[in-house]
Structure formats: C-alpha cells, structure tokens
Chains A and B, each alone.
Chain A
Amino acid sequence: MSIGHTLLGLLESGPRHGYDLKRAFDERFGHDRPLHYGQVYSTMSRLLKNGLVEVDGIEAGGGPERKRYAITDAGITDVAQWLAQPEKPEPYLQSTLYTKVVLALLTGRNAADLLDTQRAEHLRLMRELTQRKRGGDLADQLICDHALFHLEADLRWLELTAARLDQLGKAVRA
C-alpha cells in the first residue's frame, strides 16, 4: 500500500500535524500495523521535496515534528491519479483497495467508478489466464486455476463492497 498517497489523501480534508496524521492513519487503516513516527516524517519530507505538500505553519519552539502540513494542488492531482489507476491484480490486495475506497469516500470522489475500474482490470487478467489455460497442459491449467480462484475471491470482495458503498460512506463520514 502507498503510505504517501494515503497520507496525502488524509490531508485533503485540511492541514494536519505529523502526529495527527499518524493518528488518523492508524485509526482508519493501521488495524494491526500502526505507522511508526519515523515513517510519517520520512514520507512527509519526501512529499514536501516533491511539492505535493507544503508547510502550513510551525508551532513555536518545535522541531520538525511540530510542522503542520497542507496538501498542494499537485498533491490533490496525485491522489486523484492514484485513485483512478487500477491496481495490478494480485492476491492480497484488499488493504490497498480498502484504503482507496475509504479515501475516495472521504474526499468526495466516485468510489463506485474506482471499484468498476478495478473490477474490469481483474476480469481482463482472468480472461488472459483462461485463454492461457485453454492452450496449456495440465500443469499450466492448475497454475492458472490457482491464480483464477484468488482473483475471483478479490472480485467477490469488490462486488460486495460496491453493494455496501452507501453504508460504508455513512460509516467513514460519521
């Protein structure tokens, strides 16, 4: 999952301090893997260098951790591009996809479109594998089937999430 894009997305609702960003990330996406402070500050300095965020204010007497960051126009464009770009279908994508869906809902973007785009990308790869299976020997067939079953599981998750978008939208905005 792209921590940089996730932190950028969280900044879209307004400027935040680094520690505040870490708390927001952990609360929504950290689950069993909270961010280290070091990760937050190294990510923010990279985003700053690339012009995707700017320093909105520094609290008096503070070190780097007292900086308040704001997203720039380039940052907003970067988040939009990341959300619109489907992920390469592979097993265990759920955490990235979940993050994208929640950020889309939080920032008022079209989460249903995001899910549809990903769905089409998954089915495109499933078609390729099905085609390969038709021309292959038993070993090819078994290897392709393994990938197909995993992709199918992801696709079911995408469909279920699409069916629950209204509910999820209310929950994340509450």
Chain B
Amino acid sequence: MTPAGSLLVASALRKSYGPTPALDGADFSIHPAEVVAVMGPSGSGKSTLLHCLAGIVQPDSGTVRYDGRELSSLPDRERSALRRGEFGFVFQFGQLVPELTCLENVALPLRLSGTGRKAAEARAAEWLERLEVDTVRAKRPGEVSGGQGQRVAVARSLVTRPRVLFADEPTGALDSLNGERVMQLLTDAARDTRAAVVLVTHEARVAAYSDREVVVRDGKARDMAGAA
C-alpha cells in the first residue's frame, strides 16, 4: 500500500536501546478507518514501532508524519496535545485509575481536555453502553472482571473520538471468548468513528480482525499485503 492518502506515515525509523537496534529502518503507513495489525516475535521491535508512531518515543533517525505534520519537529506541548486529543491508547492492562469509578475513568480524558463534568460523564455513559459495560459504571476497576475492565479501557480510549487508536496487545490478558468480544467491539467502534487502528499483537486470531498486517522482524517492518 502506498503512503498516498495516509494519515500516519513512518519512514526509515531507527531506534536503539544501548547497542541493540530495536528498529532498523522500519517503514509504516496507515489510512483513516484502516485497521493494521503489527505482528512479529517477542523483541522484534513492534512495541517500539508503536511508541515511535504515537510520539511517545523519539526515534534516533527517520520521520513520523501525522496528517502532514512531522512529529519530531513539534514542541513537546503540541505533541502532548496531539496524543491527548487525536490519539487513543489501549494497553494489555493497568491503564485505569484505581481510585476512580469506571464512569469517571472513561470521562477522564474529556475532563483533562476541559469538558465539564456533566457533559463528560454523559458521553462516557454512552461509550460504556456501546461497549456493553454500562452496568459497571459505579464500580471501581478493582471490582470488575478482566474482560469488563478492558472494555472500559476501550471506551476510555475512544471517548475523545481519536483519529488514531493505538492498541498494544489489547486482549493479551483475556481468555478467548472475552478477547474476541473486545476485538469485535473495538473494531466496530473504530470503523464507525473512522479511527485508524494500529493493533500490536502476536495472536493471529486477533490480527484476523485487521484489514492487513505488517510483520516486524529484526527491526524492519514488512507489509504482508505484497507477500501473497
């Protein structure tokens, strides 16, 4: 797939931690509303790729362009604003604030962007319903199951209507049935809102929810659309 019309494009990314290169000339691109699975063995550099794409980690060299803007040239403040407003994140676990209720957790990104409590919680409630976990709105993360907690996390990642959702092993801590349901809900919601999804996973059944897959091996990314 060519980068033309892409929302997020990375070129020739290199990043080393000590003497070991985690990324060694990786390229990547994603279109709006596209779900791309990033696969590869452990330690191949897939999480580093996600972190560079999201502007969390600065590559040693290479570029990441989001909607025509180069991430590394943006001041920290603007990059943070971008991450808060236009990017959403779902990780394997540990992303909800334990002291807040599930509803407050989902409303949090809106509150941080200046939305009033009432409006933020109303939107959060809609997302909890959409992810089929409105029954746990008053509970704290420690009081809900793993599958429910992960759906709350997905609701929180999408409540700001991000244009890119970064999901790093989003079903890694769930059993098959819960994992499948989370993937269905996540990809349905992302398609409805036309969010692009960068989905890091080592599970083929999770990757099967994507439109195409990229395999990271030895720090390089191969687009498998051209392999078959």
Contact = CB atoms under 8 A, between A and B. Distances in A.
Interface of A: 86, 113, 116-117, 119-124, 126-127, 129-130, 134, 148-149, 151-152, 155-156, 159, 163
30 contacts: A86-B228, A113-B227, A116-B215, A116-B227, A117-B227, A117-B228, A119-B215, A119-B224, A120-B224, A120-B225, A120-B228, A123-B204, A123-B207, A123-B224, A124-B228, A126-B205, A126-B207, A127-B208, A127-B210, A129-B208, A130-B205, A130-B208, A134-B184, A148-B205, A148-B208, A149-B205, A152-B203, A152-B205, A156-B204, A163-B41
Interface string B188-221: 0000000000000001110111100101000000
Contact of A121 (B204, B213, B222, B228): B228
Contacts of A117: 227-228
Contacts of A126: 204-205, 207-208
Nearest to A117: B227
Contacts of A86: 228
A166 B41 CA distance: 16
Please classify the interface of chain A as helix (H, G, I), strand (E, B), loop, or mixed, using the class held by over half of its residues.
helix
Main secondary structure of the interface of B (DSSP, over half): mixed
Nearest to B222: A116
Given A117-B227, A117-B228, A134-B184, A123 B41 contact: no
Contacts of B184: 134
Q: Interface residue tally of chain B, by bracket?
A: 10 to 19
A146 to B, nearest CB: 12
Interface centre among B210, B222, B224, B228 (most CB of A within 10 A): B228
Contacts of B204: 122-123, 126, 151-152, 155-156
B187 to A, nearest CB: 9
Contacts of A127: 208-210
List the 10 shortest-distance A-B pairs measured between CB atoms, nearest first.
A120-B228, A126-B208, A120-B227, A130-B208, A120-B224, A155-B204, A116-B227, A152-B204, A127-B208, A121-B228
A143 B81 CA distance: 46
A160 to B, nearest CB: 9
B205 to A, nearest CB: 6
B227 A119 contact: yes
Contacts of B224: 116, 119-120, 123
Contacts of A156: 204
